[in-house]
Chains A and B, each alone.
Chain A
Amino acid sequence: MSQARVPEPAGLPERLDDGELLARIAAGEQPALRQLIDRHGRGLQLLAARYLGGADEAEDVVQDVFFSVWNNAKRFDPAKGRATTWIYRIAVNRCIDVKRWRRFRLFLGFDDTDDVFASDDPPADTLIGARQELAIVRAGLDTLPERQRMALLLRAVADLDVTSIAEAMGTSAGSVEQLLVRARRTLRARLAKVGEFEPRDERLSK
């Protein structure tokens, strides 16, 4: 697992924040890119894998993101927003491109289905083998509308606030709040349907 791994020396003597790393990447320092991948590789890959529904495509997307960061780091303007948000915005755009390309292939008849997510219901083996509520949330995520899924993943996986999510998705903060409310309501309804998820107060009272 990635948490247990002790990383190789990144080649930079000090720990830098994302903005400083981008400045060094813009100057052509490869160790800074390595450190940035070490910091955000996992978060980006979890986001892309859950959004696209496939780990293989997710790794390609994350590679594209960091390659794009390497080529365009000079364009990052710290006055316009946080470095983390800028990186996640690239990832969001790349994920949307992959989805569009998938739809285009479907239109041409090269693919059988747009979504790799098979059905609305969690597979039986996941219900037996893993925690049931996680399987339900996973299946619920897969069936959410794309924008709701992306907003919720940016909140839960990337830990971005509403303003940053809006910036990453290229929309307004109000719109993001709506997306989050609807996504959470849908997931809660799915969990409540099988009695696995209760509001906090009810859990604590037991």
Chain B
Amino acid sequence: MNTDEFENLKVRFGPDTATWPAPFRQEASRFLTGHRLAALSDDETLDYLVLDAAKTSVDETVLVRHVMTRVAKSRRRFGPTVGPRWWSIPATAASMAFVITLSAASGYWAAGARIDISDDALLAFAIGVPPSEVAHTSIFRQEEGSRP
């Protein structure tokens, strides 16, 4: 941080550097103490190194614009927001589980009325005759609508 940057931040956040947000506060503190290592503990020295290592270019103006656009969009939209961005893992897993359960239940329900046909066919297959020949000796009750 140089003097110009410090003065700009004073205009932005006020004269009291203690009320500045992080990480501007730490940078101002280091600027004001003139990088005096004697005033810092080993942990503080390392923390400053970590802060320097984390620094990258950030444009808050762009950030403000993007967030305010999202806020404006959310105000225009009616009903709950649904989109890929908002699909969380639990919600996706629950939806998939529901679909699988529903499919299994539908399949079981649709196939359930013809179970006796399969039993006759299996019996015919076991004794080696066509299914039509076992139809009249079937131990399974013929239900209305089922095939012999």
Spell out A's residues near B (CB within 8 Å): 1-8, 15, 17-18, 30, 33-34, 37-43, 45-47, 49-50, 55, 59, 62-63, 66-67, 70-71, 84, 97, 100-101, 104, 133-134, 137-138, 141, 152-153, 155-160, 184, 187-188, 197, 199-200, 203-204
Contact = CB atoms under 8 A, between A and B. Distances in A.
Interface of B: 1, 4-6, 8-9, 11-14, 19, 21-27, 37-38, 40-43, 45-61, 63-64, 66-68, 70-71, 74, 88-89
12 contacts: A7-B60, A15-B19, A42-B60, A49-B54, A67-B71, A70-B67, A134-B49, A138-B54, A156-B46, A156-B47, A157-B23, A158-B22
A200 B42 contact: yes
Contact of B5 (A1, A43, A62, A199): A1
Contacts of A38: 12, 60, 64
Contact of A43 (B22, B49, B64, B66): B22
Most chain B CB within 10 A, of A55, A84, A134, is at A134
Contact of A3 (B25, B26, B27, B70): B27
B12 A6 contact: yes
B63 A37 contact: yes
B21 A55 contact: no
Given A2-B59, A3-B1, A37-B64, A159 B50 contact: no
Contacts of A59: 63, 66
A186 to B, nearest CB: 11
Contact of A157 (B45, B50, B66): B50
Contact of A204 (B5, B37, B46, B64): B37
Contact of A55 (B42, B56, B64, B89): B56
B68 A6 contact: no
Contact of B68 (A34, A49, A55, A104): A34
B42 A199 contact: yes
A3 B60 CA distance: 10
B57 A204 contact: no
Contacts of B25: 159
Given A43-B22, A203-B37, 17 more contacts: A1-B5, A2-B58, A2-B59, A3-B27, A6-B12, A34-B64, A42-B58, A43-B23, A46-B58, A63-B63, A63-B67, A70-B67, A152-B47, A156-B46, A157-B51, A159-B25, A160-B22
